Amino acid sequence: MSYKRWLFIAVLLFGIGLVLGLATTVGITDLLAEDVADLEELAELLSPLPQVAFFVFVFVKNVSAVLISFALSPIFCLAPVMALIFNGGILGLVSVLVVQEKSVGYLLAGLLPHGVFELPAFIMGEAVALSFGTAVVLALFKKERRKLLLPNLRQNLRYLAVALILFLPAAIIETYVTPLFLS
């Protein structure tokens, strides 16, 4: 299957999670509001750390999430499917909370600057994981598919490299630009 189809599937799964997160009832958003308050307290505790430490944290977190998903993808693609739906859902839930507490403008100011890089990078990385995981599973069950595994891995590593590189400007913008828009 072509990489474009894997991208479509990844966008679809992320979109399903996003819709589920946006459609969540008020009770769950109230419960999540408590978690967001805890995260805000954690952010205040971490605020004395230099911005470069936050940049490194964000970059390593994003890269490691995609790499772990890629590494675990041969287990019937569960990791990338769950990552796409879960992250879409969290984005939807947090969006509902932010719009309720602040405004749509505040939400866009917090998401758009770094999201322009981070969301495509995440979706590209998870599409790679879906492609590779499926190729491994098919190679396990069909001997004729085994010869396609190495070319699939090479192609997917190129796309994975692009996704990981895109996390760099996303982390820089999230660390240094997004706070300016939110203040």
Q: Is residue 70 in some structural domain?
A: no
| Residue 60 forms part of a structural domain | no
Q: Is the pTM of this model over 0.85?
A: yes
- Is the pLDDT reported for residue 26 higher than 90? no
CB 32 within 8 A of CB 91: no
pLDDT at position 79 is 96
87 in Cβ contact with 16 (< 8 Å)? no
In a domain? residue 68: no
pLDDT at 11: 97
**In this structure, is residue 183 part of a structural domain?**
no
Residue 160 has pLDDT above 80, yes or no: yes
Please tell me whether residue 73 adopts helix, strand or coil conformation: coil
pLDDT score of 37: 65
Task: State the sign of the Cα–Cα–Cα–Cα dihedral 97, 101, 115, 72.
Answer: negative
Domain that holds residue 157: 3-34+75-176
| Residue 48, pLDDT above cutoff 70 | no
Residue appearing with tokens 């192609």: 155
Do the domain assignments include residue 65? no
Q: What are the tokens at 77?
A: 């693609």
Structural domain count of the chain: 1
What is the number of other CB atoms lying within 10 angstroms of the CB of residue 110? 19
Distance between CA atoms of residues 152 and 148, nearest Å: 6
Q: How far apart are CA 132 and CA 128, in angstroms?
A: 6
User: What is the percent of the chain with per-residue pLDDT over 90, rounded to a whole number?
Assistant: 58
Report the SS3 class of residue 144. Answer: helix
Average pLDDT over the chain, rounded to an integer: 88
The SS3 call for residue 13 is helix
CB 125 within 8 A of CB 70: yes
- Is residue 161 a part of any domain in this protein? yes
In a domain, 64, yes or no: no
The pLDDT score that the predictor gives to residue 182 is: 81
- What's the mean pLDDT in 60-87? 95
Domain for residue 141, yes or no?
Answer: yes
- Helical H runs in the chain? 3-22, 26-46, 51-72, 78-101, 104-141, 149-176, 178-182
